[in-house]
Amino acid sequence: MGASDFEVLERFRTRTVLTVGSAGTRHLYRDEALGLGITDPFLLHVFLTFALLHDTHLSSFKTSAAHRSQLAFHWYHGTALFHRNLSAATKSSPTALASSHRDALWAAAAILGSAAFAFVGSVEPAAAWPLKETSPTDLDWLKMSDGKRVVWDLADPTRPESIFHPLVADHGKHIAPNGFAPIAPNALPASFYPLFNLASSTASTNPYHVAASVLAQLLAREVNDETVIQFLSFLSQLDPRYRLLLEEKDPRALLLLSYWFAQLAGFETWWLSQRALVEGKAVCIYLERECADDPIIMELLEFPKRLLFKKAGGTNATMNASLNGTERAGRLHEHTQKCGEEQE
């Protein structure tokens, strides 16, 4: 590590680490996980990657060539060494691995997942998925969620000796939505039900069910530092069939995603809000262009558009951050009630 790397690591320690996890788990990364980098150096590359991405965000993507080269170097080596260590770990019994090594694998998976979500590449919706030219890296941030499940099973952060064991107590405070649950008749705007065939839907028969059910349970909640883990369950429960529909840019799948993005965009955590805002707007533009002749989709798109595009001072600048969670929940409740009344 060079002098500049130590400076970046210090920024991770004093600034970026305070944005990792939720309010109830952040201290674990700040007080415990940093020390894992001593015994598992690959984790240092991951820490540096995330801090450099944070720098990129704070500079509105206006970074030097040297900065971009440093970021690419640590991201490549952090990811490659992580996968090498993970591959070796899967060849033996988890209990045969050192507890600190299992914790390092989980810390790396969690932060690399956040890094994948953070890296949008542009602040312009026109240059973001699904509007941009198709690339093999599209939706990589979704694919990382699948990988984290594998690491979770191997590392088992809930085991008593893990530094992440307090996750159990923190997650216990917040009941996550259950995507397999039936969807109540008035939980979503009325037009959702025929559009997604939700009247007699189940998770096994309907690829949209899990996403719609999770969304129905989240819409009345406020996203904040305490509840953000509940909103991220949208990713952890994702039906593989639904993800495939997103890859195909299926309009109904994109509409569900736009509602989730719209809620998440107002949460002021840099690695979450940027993608939610930029890609959320891109999804809305894409649907307006491709589904202009579908009145139901156009009707339902009004709510996420209202949150993701908000005019202020006579300009087209996005003011989504000015809408707090309570106001968003209230507006959605009004929208749901209005749609219900119209259906009647």
Q: Give 109-121 pLDDT, tens digit per residue.
A: 999 999 999 998 8
pLDDT at 49: 98
pLDDT in tens, 212-223: 999 999 988 888
Structure confidence at residue 256 (pLDDT): 98
Query: 140 with 75: CB under 8 angstroms?
Result: no
Quick one: pLDDT at residue 307? Answer: 93
- For residue 134, what is the DSSP state? P
Model pLDDT, residue 148 = 84
Q: Considering only the C-alpha atoms of the chain, give the largest distance between any 2 of them, rounded to a whole number of Å.
A: 67
Nearest to 259 by CA among 315, 206, 297: 297
Domain ranges of the chain: 3-171, 174-343
Low-confidence ranges of the chain (pLDDT < 50): 311-331, 333, 335-344
Can you tell me the distance from the alpha carbon of 52 to that of 152, in angstroms, rounded to the nearest whole number?
25
* pTM for the whole structure: 0.85
Question: Residue 156: left (phi > 0), alpha (psi -120 to 50), or beta?
Answer: left
Tokens for 236, please give them: 């952890």
Which pLDDT does position 9 carry in this prediction?
95
**Per-residue confidence (pLDDT) for residue 92, from 0 to 100:** 86
- Of 300, 330, 309, 344, the residue nearest 188 (C-alpha): 300
